[in-house]
Amino acid sequence: MTYTPENTLDMSWDEYTYEVDMMLIAEFGEPATHEQLCDITTAYNRGVAPDEVFSGMAEALYGNEYDDELGGELGSDWGFSPKVSTAA
């Protein structure tokens, strides 16, 4: 199932994590690490959409140019770990 912002809040923790993991695997070949799961938990609890979480993690790995190529912009106030917040 593809989730839109309207029904992201209806996702269970497993569905949410699966969605983020699939994006990470498709792009980088690996699922979320334990540290990234902590960031995913924070995002889930705050209602951040899975694609925005993925975008933040991609920026943390590759810098702001990753999200700039996609035409998006992330704020740094979502409570990610310092490593992720610095990159966003």
Is the confidence at residue 81, as pLDDT, over 60?
A: no
Is the pTM of the predicted complex or chain greater than 0.95? Answer: no
Q: What is the pLDDT of residue 65?
A: 61
- Listed residue (47, 33, 7, 63) closest to 55, CA to CA: 63
Separation of alpha carbons 49 and 51, rounded Å = 6
Higher pLDDT, 56 or 6: 56
| % residues pLDDT > 70 (the chain) | 61
**Mean pLDDT over each residue of the chain, to the nearest integer:** 74
Q: Residue 30 in contact with residue 24, Cβ under 8 Å? A: yes
